[in-house]
Each structure stands twice: as structure tokens, then as C-alpha cells.
Structure 1
Amino acid sequence: MLSPDRALSRALVRTVPDAVTERLADLGNVPVALPVLALAMAYAVRRGHRFAALAAALAMALVPALIVPLKEWTARPGPLEPWAAGYYPSGHTATALTAYTAAALLLTPHTRRPWPLPAAAALTALTATGLVLRGFHWPLDVLASLLMCTPLLLGVRWAVGRSRRRSSG
């Protein structure tokens, strides 16, 4: 899997101007993604869905607990910085996926149209694309983060459903 990963990365890196890809990658920064989640959590609490908001907070808190030890254990070098280590899995992708999708799951029950989940998917995809195109991460780094954080989001989805049943019952 590493050989195709390297080949794909070589074909993609720097095909889009750095100024664009860096901004896209920045969508996965904690100061960008966490306020989105915090606002959605505050809205959920205001609507009486404390349990769902707590589940979203717990999912976000678990991201570094999952990602950081694996980064240290694998010590994978970066595409453009072979002397540096800790690129696998992508923390920015994990942050973007968890923050934006958890926020979307909290908001979706209160919207007339299902726009939050497609918006979260778009923000996560833009983050991942920026990270790979800029050369900050290998494609497998991004894929691993997406797969690792999915169970956390399934827990948030379950909590949102439980919270909705409790408030309507």
C-alpha cells in the first residue's frame, strides 16, 4: 500500500498553488474547527439535548487520544519532509471530520433541509484535499484518520437519536 501511496502523492503534490492548499488544510486546525463544534453544542444544549452535546464533546476529546499515540508509534515521515516524523494518521483530518460531522449531527434534527451533513462532508473533503495537495500528508494518512474517527461519530449519531427520543417522549 505504501508504494501506490507514494506514487499518488508524487502525482498530486503541488498541482494546486500552495496559497490555496494551505487555506484548505487550515480548515482542520483546532482554532477553526472547534468553534464550529462549540457553537453546535451550545445550540444543542439550548434545545435540551445535553446528552448529545456531551457525546460530541467526548468524541472530540478522544481524537488526540487515538491519533497522537499512533503518530508516535509509526513515526512516518512526511511527503515533503523525510527528516520529520509523526505524519500518520492525519490529526487535521481527524479534527475536521470529528468537529464538522459532530456539529452537523447536532444541527440536523433542527433543520428543514439536510444541509449540515453535506456541508460537514465538504469541509472535511476540502481539508483532506488541501493536506494531500500541499504535501503535508500522504493519502493514506488522511484515509486512516477518516476510518479511525468514524466509530466516534457513530457514537455521536446514537446519542443524538437517543436525545431526540427522550425529548419527544
Structure 2
Amino acid sequence: MITTISALTSLLFTGAIFGFFYAWVCSTMWGLDAADSRTAIEAMQAMNQSVRNVVFFPAFFLTPVVLVFSAIVFAMSGLYRSAIFFGLAAGLYTTGALVPTALVNVPMNEALASITIPANPAEAARIWAEYSPKWQLWNQLRTVASGVALLLTGYALISGS
């Protein structure tokens, strides 16, 4: 029973965080890039402020914890192959999504939050052009890492032994 609960929780958390990053890739940032740069900056500032909440916290911070817990539970149950894939998913998510977020995306978000939105559209366009492509590149890395972690989690569920 504990293996089932931990495995499904791992799948849910990994799927949730992959979906979060994926939505930024295929809609949110494209929409902001299409908007007036002043609007994009203001919206990004608001979204970055609002993401720090109790609903987001479990998927972002607890995904590797849940994955490691599943790896331990499966190893203790003698399901070593599954344990390995849960462990790989935890490591990949941590190094490919959590760490880049802390080292790159969050500092970029904090720098953007500290600016006053310029009245001059050209200045706002310059700021957004310096921010958006780099932020998106790192978000794409987080998305790929989270997506592969999700695949590893799914494989852990079906791999047995």
C-alpha cells in the first residue's frame, strides 16, 4: 500500500511541476513577448510575486523529497529497478530544475522586480529583450529536466523488480 501511495504521489508531484514549467514555455512567455514590454514587465513582476504561495510550494520543493521517499520505499520492498528510476528522477529534477531556478531564474526575477517600469516604451523593450530570452532558455532547461523526471517516474511505476 505504501509503495502505491508513494509512487502515485511522486507521479502527481512530478507531473504538476512539469506542467507548470511547460505552461510557461508554450503560452505564458509567448503571450508576454507579444504584449507591450511595459505590460510584460508588470505582468511578470506580478506573477513572480504571486508564485510564492502554499499551493506552489509542494510541487516545487517537495517533488525531490517525495521521489527520494519512493526510491527508499521501493528499495526496502526489494523493487530495486523502480527505486533506481525514482532516485534518478529525484536527482535530475534537483539538478536540472530546482538548482537552476535558485541560481538563475530567481535572481533574474528579483532583478526584474527591483526595477521601476519605464514610461519610455523603447527602454521597457530593451529591459524585456534582455530578460525574456535568457529566462526562457533556462525555463526550457527546467521543463526538459522535469519532463524527463516525469518519464523516469512513469518508468519506475511500470518497470517492476
* Higher CA-based Rg: 2
Q: TM-score range by the shorter chain?
A: 0.3 to 0.5
TM-score w.r.t. length of structure 1: 0.41
Name the one with the larger helix percent.
2
Query: TM-score, with normalisation over the residues of structure 2?
Result: 0.42
- RCO greater where, 1 or 2, for CA within 8 Å and sep 6 or more? 2
